[in-house]
A and B are shown apart, each in its own frame.
Chain A
């Protein structure tokens, strides 16, 4: 590692703006509240100050409180309304932080006799759960009355507990070995017992003793589902050569199930984080981390067994700016020791160094994954599930071989199509009115994984077609592959993509190729496309025919067809056409007569003129043109000439020329 490792291979990094706080010392105790993600720095039991730092400035508070003994646990209720402080193993003290409410502390002893309070969790701004070694007690706090009311309690032997604030689920370790886990869920003043489950221990100790450590269990939501993660260490007796993480899926209702096994392929000390729905496993001795995506299918493995998505890499090196008033600007930042033993890891994505006074969020960097994951199909599956994936995905599109590009396009368009369909059905549901039955219809969320044609055009295709080092053959192949993929997913192709195809073909004089594409309707008919073709006529004459055909198929472009024919001085053709589509009665005679006059062909002019006279006769009973309307600005030509021509126009026997 270190020097030999190429740059840009670190796919994990610490957030650039960490939360800084006064580091832990003999006079300063540091606490972390996972629910509000607040760090409490308590100096001298609070007498010389408590500084609370949250993820943003709003949640930061500083205050003093009386030193009534060593603080064991300190947490704000949601919204910083009430502060709870545990100083003894029997009771918890409360201080109101709501303005206009009495500020004097009040206290609540646990109800169960002889029980020791292990800790407490806020489940709402005024609801709190005490966890004792003999069970849990669920209280409602009345700050105005400075009292608590027991809502519910449950007796159960508890070794330790864990709390997942996102889902308000408390997990209790029970029984002597500690491997029977009992979850409770809290919501709006109610407490519900979920089904308990057993963690399979690698070895059953004899005599029985507490064998499941709090450190080896973590709770987190991954892809919207609650999981209990168990770090199963390698044991010499059982035949598991390396450690693994076992995921238990904890549904709101129903039994908990062992659902995924993540193979770590090594042993030692580990810590877990969840970032962007990825399970991150930090390995202290090698100072590297692994990531797992439980939704990534692994064809080579047994069901739901996962290998790391990427090779192990350390977190990107981090330099700490020197804090405090003594900072000298010229002083360089100090490299931070990663994977330090003083690090504490919290769910989902928090790493705290109490000794240095830093709280970081762990982040995934997607760009380095492109080179680390050779299987581009798998890479795409991986990237599509990530939050900030768009630019990375787009960067993959133009740097692969054709079959890979095809796979990538298909995967992208699959997601794109699903989004379009969801959007469509949402629109339909909205238009049909908010019926009570389908009130649950939500507007589909557009994630970064939805990469539409304009994204592809702007970020990939348009710049790609201009790259000199790429052969035009490949450029066209990629464009066609994208159009194929869109068609395969029944997505309407946007005009600008066709325009790009045409532009590229024309640039390289590949007119015959263009002709063939149009012949097979690969470039779908549209007025703009037909107009574009017309503009190509001077360099490629057949474009004229292609354009007219297209206008004909559109069947809404009869006026355009007439204009095109007239511009080519095909006046009779235009006239016959407008008659064949039944537009003769409403058409402007002037246009035709002007065009006929321009040809300088008197017989042609006469024919057109007569044709309109006949029309007028039929429509209004008179050959005269309506004054003001469509009146031709021409002098009546010589009548004698017409007579002769009328004779000529009679059909001849045998062969008739029209």
Chain B
């Protein structure tokens, strides 16, 4: 859908800049408390080619702001600092460890006549604290997923090891941050669940249980279809970040070559006398390769006594993906991988085609209204379930939305309003562009609807949203 921003329409030659990452750094003030040792505080700094003194200055400033604001509210120090050109976000994930992200505000460059340099207009109010605050927290969660806590690295190898780990992780991770397409969904950090009938769901349960029984090394299993979650043996918070990794990083990386038709990974494997399409997304790409390495990424999840380290095996057959997690203390061998391939491959292939079939049947039954013409985002805080008809398919590089950023901003604003109070409420906004935006909060659920009805009045919009709730959300308790 083509969206024309009213501002863009008025001045075609204007150049618009989206928000972008200026710097990202991690420091611990206790590491260099004395004058002249300030550099020791800095554990990671992006971009790395910044002059040392500037780094120290920037870190010092942040430290000062946090210290200063703490005097007003000791329990809640500053979370962000708004300036004309940029916005800084502060986050203390572990005691005395601070992550700071500096985002340049979006801006408009207006060319001037007579060869004068263009005027730059910063749009200070266009970005939301909640969205980028969530991005910073996500950065930390992702680091923790693959490396454990900062404290853990400190215990294992002191500052040296920690800085190495941070360098290694964030160098790559920051390149995948696409600040211009961050929105409400980043605030939610939700999980999209695959809709499924009970019987097929039970079959998946049965599959997971049987695999866990016969390959007793497997401690946890997660099952996804079409990049949507169906089953998680991990606890909710761990699954949330793992899901983020799988859907925004691992799966897109593997689906793009598939789509491009390169090295056609969809050649069926033959295990015993069963044809299957199973393959490892992590670990060995080709089991038959004598040189194949049986190394899998390691992840850290919460356990009763702190955290546990696990191998992450992601195995996929057609659209079905199963994540098997095995204690990292066990060394995984070729034997085990072959056993897993032989056992899981055929079953997962069968299950994938079952799910696909069932899904098509259900789609046919649910009938004519097919995709609703409503644009909405739904989120449930209880199970982190999210659903969006606004967002297109996510890829590794971009997250496409079908509505204008202005509207997304309104959604974000409503969300902030909701966050302020505990009670259920409903907010209806008429946007400048003839759109109506409706936000509803009922118990732990939030629903945001965008309606494009030029001449509708408040009552009609209200009726329309009621209708949406009755058709799309009839099986949950959602107050009108």
Identify the A interface with B (CB < 8 A). Answer: 401-403, 406, 473-474, 476-477, 480-481, 483-484, 487-488, 512-513, 515-516, 519-522, 542, 544-546, 548-549, 551-553, 561, 570, 573, 576-577, 580, 651, 654-658
* B209 interface contact, C-beta 8 A: yes
Task: Report Cα–Cα, A651/B426, bound state, in Å.
Answer: 12
For residue A486, give the distance in angstroms from its CB to the closest CB of chain B.
10
Q: Which of B213, B430, B479 contacts A401 (CB 8 A)?
A: B213
Task: Report Cα–Cα, A551/B425, bound state, in Å.
Answer: 22
* B67 interface contact, C-beta 8 A: no
Task: Report Cα–Cα, A519/B424, bound state, in Å.
Answer: 22
Q: Are B425 and A520 in contact (CB under 8 A)?
A: no
Q: Which of A480, A516, A548, A654 contacts B209 (CB 8 A)?
A: A480
Task: Report Cα–Cα, A137/B233, bound state, in Å.
Answer: 79
* B270 interface contact, C-beta 8 A: no
Among B198, B199, B230, B458, the most chain A Cβ lie within 10 Å of the Cβ of: B198
* B177 interface contact, C-beta 8 A: no
Q: Are B209 and A519 in contact (CB under 8 A)?
A: no
Q: Are A474 and B213 in contact (CB under 8 A)?
A: yes
Task: Report Cα–Cα, A63/B413, bound state, in Å.
Answer: 107
Neighbouring B residues of A544 by C-beta, 8 Å = 443
Interface stretch, picked from B116-124, B200-208, B320-328, is: B200-208
Would you list which residues of chain B between 423 and 446 have a CB under 8 Å from chain A? 424-430, 443-445
For residue A565, give the distance in angstroms from its CB to the closest CB of chain B.
9
**A522/B428 contact (C-beta < 8 A), A484-B205, A552-B475, A580-B480 known:** no
Task: Report Cα–Cα, A546/B198, bound state, in Å.
Answer: 17
Q: Are A658 and B426 in contact (CB under 8 A)?
A: yes
Q: A473-B209, A580-B480 are in contact. List 4 more A-B contacts (CB 8 A).
A: A473-B212, A484-B199, A520-B196, A549-B475
Task: Report Cα–Cα, A93/B424, bound state, in Å.
Answer: 100
* B236 interface contact, C-beta 8 A: yes
Would you list which residues of chain B between 350 and 389 have a CB under 8 Å from chain A? 380, 382-383, 385
**A654/B382 contact (C-beta < 8 A), A477-B209, A480-B209, A548-B443 known:** no
Neighbouring B residues of A521 by C-beta, 8 Å = 198
Task: Report Cα–Cα, A548/B199, bound state, in Å.
Answer: 24
* B294 interface contact, C-beta 8 A: no
Q: Are A573 and B424 in contact (CB under 8 A)?
A: yes
Task: Report Cα–Cα, A480/B480, bound state, in Å.
Answer: 36
Would you list which residues of chain B between 392 and 443 have a CB under 8 Å from chain A? 424-430, 443
Which residue on chain B has the smallest CB distance to residue A406? B206
Q: Digit string of B175-209 for contact with A (CB within 8 Å is 1, else 0)?
A: 00000000000000000010010110111011001
**A512/B202 contact (C-beta < 8 A), A402-B209, A519-B193 known:** no
For residue B480, give the distance in angstroms from its CB to the closest CB of chain A.
5
Q: Which of B236, B430, B479 contacts A512 (CB 8 A)?
A: B236
**A657/B427 contact (C-beta < 8 A), A516-B232, A522-B202, A552-B475 known:** yes
Neighbouring B residues of A553 by C-beta, 8 Å = 475
Q: Which of A477, A545, A655 contacts B428 (CB 8 A)?
A: A655
Among B198, B201, B209, B426, the most chain A Cβ lie within 10 Å of the Cβ of: B209
Task: Report Cα–Cα, A522/B209, bound state, in Å.
Answer: 15
Task: Report Cα–Cα, A542/B236, bound state, in Å.
Answer: 12
Task: Report Cα–Cα, A551/B477, bound state, in Å.
Answer: 8
* B231 interface contact, C-beta 8 A: yes
Neighbouring B residues of A561 by C-beta, 8 Å = 477
Q: Which of A406, A474, A476, A545 contacts B477 (CB 8 A)?
A: A545
Task: Report Cα–Cα, A403/B209, bound state, in Å.
Answer: 10
Neighbouring A residues of B73 by C-beta, 8 Å = none
Neighbouring A residues of B430 by C-beta, 8 Å = 654
Q: Which of B199, B382, B425, B445 contacts A488 (CB 8 A)?
A: B199
Neighbouring B residues of A488 by C-beta, 8 Å = 199, 202
Q: Are A656 and B383 in contact (CB under 8 A)?
A: no
Q: Digit string of B208-223 for contact with A (CB within 8 Å is 1, else 0)?
A: 0110111000000000
Which residue on chain B has the smallest CB distance to residue A574? B479
Neighbouring A residues of B479 by C-beta, 8 Å = 573, 576-577, 580
**Tally of chain B residues near chain A (CB < 8 A):** 40
For residue A225, give the distance in angstroms from its CB to the closest CB of chain B.
38
Which residue on chain A has the smallest CB distance to residue B382? A542
* B14 interface contact, C-beta 8 A: no
* B235 interface contact, C-beta 8 A: yes
Neighbouring A residues of B50 by C-beta, 8 Å = none
Neighbouring A residues of B232 by C-beta, 8 Å = 512, 516
Task: Report Cα–Cα, A522/B425, bound state, in Å.
Answer: 31
Task: Report Cα–Cα, A474/B205, bound state, in Å.
Answer: 12
Among B198, B212, B230, B477, the most chain A Cβ lie within 10 Å of the Cβ of: B477
Q: Which of A401, A480, A512 contacts B235 (CB 8 A)?
A: A512
Which residue on chain A has the smallest CB distance to residue B414? A655
* B476 interface contact, C-beta 8 A: yes
Task: Report Cα–Cα, A545/B235, bound state, in Å.
Answer: 19
Neighbouring A residues of B230 by C-beta, 8 Å = 520
Neighbouring A residues of B212 by C-beta, 8 Å = 473, 477
Which residue on chain A has the smallest CB distance to residue B461? A656
Q: Are B477 and A480 in contact (CB under 8 A)?
A: no
Neighbouring A residues of B210 by C-beta, 8 Å = 402-403, 406, 477
7 pairs, A vs B, C-beta closer than 8 Å: A402-B214, A487-B198, A488-B202, A513-B233, A545-B477, A655-B427, A656-B427
Which residue on chain B has the smallest CB distance to residue A553? B475
Task: Report Cα–Cα, A546/B385, bound state, in Å.
Answer: 13
Task: Report Cα–Cα, A488/B197, bound state, in Å.
Answer: 12
Neighbouring A residues of B458 by C-beta, 8 Å = 651, 656
- 5 closest pairs, A vs B, by CB? A477-B209, A484-B202, A548-B477, A542-B382, A552-B477
Q: Are B429 and A480 in contact (CB under 8 A)?
A: no
Q: Are B198 and A522 in contact (CB under 8 A)?
A: yes
Neighbouring A residues of B380 by C-beta, 8 Å = 545
Task: Report Cα–Cα, A521/B382, bound state, in Å.
Answer: 16
For residue A241, give the distance in angstroms from its CB to the closest CB of chain B.
34
Neighbouring B residues of A545 by C-beta, 8 Å = 380, 382, 443-445, 477
Among A515, A549, A551, A553, the most chain B Cβ lie within 10 Å of the Cβ of: A549
**A516/B231 contact (C-beta < 8 A), A521-B198, A655-B427 known:** yes
For residue A651, give the distance in angstroms from its CB to the closest CB of chain B.
8
Q: Are A481 and B209 in contact (CB under 8 A)?
A: yes
Task: Report Cα–Cα, A658/B212, bound state, in Å.
Answer: 50
Task: Report Cα–Cα, A483/B209, bound state, in Å.
Answer: 13
Task: Report Cα–Cα, A481/B427, bound state, in Å.
Answer: 46
Which residue on chain A has the smallest CB distance to residue B237? A512
Neighbouring B residues of A477 by C-beta, 8 Å = 209-210, 212-213
For residue A146, give the distance in angstroms from its CB to the closest CB of chain B.
74
Which residue on chain B has the smallest CB distance to residue A523? B198
Task: Report Cα–Cα, A655/B418, bound state, in Å.
Answer: 13
Task: Report Cα–Cα, A551/B426, bound state, in Å.
Answer: 23
For residue A484, give the distance in angstroms from its CB to the closest CB of chain B.
4
Neighbouring A residues of B385 by C-beta, 8 Å = 519
Task: Report Cα–Cα, A406/B430, bound state, in Å.
Answer: 57
Task: Report Cα–Cα, A522/B427, bound state, in Å.
Answer: 35
**A515/B202 contact (C-beta < 8 A), A545-B443, A549-B477 known:** no
